[in-house]
Amino acid sequence: MAEGRIDRRSPLPYYAQLKQLLIQRLDTEIEAGARLPGEMALCDEYGVSRTVVRQALDELEEDGRIVRRKGQGTFAAARKTDETLFQSLTGLYEDVTARGDELRSRVLALDAVPAPADVAAALELAEADQVIYLERLRYVGGEPWVLARTYLPIDVAPGILSEDFTRQSLYGLLEDKYGVELDHGRRLVEAIPATAPLAEALGVRPRDPVLLLRSTAWDVTGRPVEYFVAYHRGDRSRFQVSLRRRRERQSTVPNMIVHDDPPVPSGKGAHTPKHAS
């Protein structure tokens, strides 16, 4: 992708390129709270259609990078402070079934696609290298809880495109069938307002809070083998963090393990899904 321009020869879709260009601007030149150019101005600046601009802005809003205000415009979201967060490397399927609940997934996409820039960076690949893309809407007790978008290097699990993910664990499949030895991961959790498409998928109202998880998992060789972005319903999810005080001679990172301990909505019993896989 040419610096500051849409690369017409790139296999990456225009909206994905535009999203990355805008992320670069948000990181380097657009202050938090500042107004972004309008949709038509972006169309003219980058030579793309309004549909492309809207899709790029939709994803930036889902990612919590921008805020749209009706009648006012689009603004750079306030910067969020990273928190050091450690948790056991288990998947949503394992967590839910361990509690005796049933997890079901509706597979929205399963295909080989060019890696977007952020995915390529997380998986240590070249931009536009082929990756497996798996998108699932995940249900607990028949209710939508999580929308998860997962990326895997294409050579990690040959044949995975033919797998049925309706009721099986991705982590279990990687370990048991494809011999991937998962070792550790890093996850970031933040709260964002639900966009209209995300709200519709999760059964909440637009701008209701959702919890956004970004995760990278590594195998025992140190290779990144999975990257996912997952959107959890804010009214069904809560994360409990166990902390241990760090002593002077210990590691600079406290031992922190995340457990699901969900709030129980009035009139309902509920459990909290935690992860995407």
State how far the Cα of 204 lies from the Cα of 179, in Å rounded to an integer: 38
Co-location of 219 and 166 in the same domain? yes
CATH number at residue 21: 1.10.10.10
DSSP string, 10-30: -SS-HHHHHHHHHHHHHHHTS
Co-location of 70 and 96 in the same domain? no
Q: Give the residue from 76, 100, 122 where a domain finishes.
A: 76
Co-location of 206 and 96 in the same domain? yes
**Residue 266 has what pLDDT?**
38
Contact 225, 156 (CB under 8 A): yes
**Residue 270 has what pLDDT?**
42
Token look-up 């790139």 returns 10
**Residue 3 has what pLDDT?**
62
Co-location of 71 and 109 in the same domain? no
State how far the Cα of 185 lies from the Cα of 228, in Å rounded to an integer: 11
* Amino acid identity for residue 141 in this structure: G
Contact 254, 262 (CB under 8 A): no
Residue 175 backbone class (left: φ over 0; alpha: ψ -120 to 50; beta: rest)? alpha
Co-location of 60 and 131 in the same domain? no
Domain count, the chain: 2
Co-location of 57 and 139 in the same domain? no
Mean pLDDT in order along the chain per 10 residues (277 residues) = 79 94 93 93 96 95 89 86 49 56 86 94 94 94 91 94 91 92 89 93 93 93 96 79 62 41 40 48
DSSP letter at 35 equals: B
Domain that includes residue 50, residue range: 14-76
Residue 159 backbone class (left: φ over 0; alpha: ψ -120 to 50; beta: rest)? left
Co-location of 105 and 198 in the same domain? yes
At 38, is the secondary structure helix, strand, or coil?
A: coil
**Residue 187 has what pLDDT?**
85
**Residue 104 has what pLDDT?**
87
The pTM of the full predicted model, rounded to 2 decimals, is 0.72
**Residue 37 has what pLDDT?**
95
Structure tokens at 121: 């960076």
Structure tokens at 236: 């069904």
Co-location of 68 and 170 in the same domain? no
* H/E run at residue 106: strand 103-114
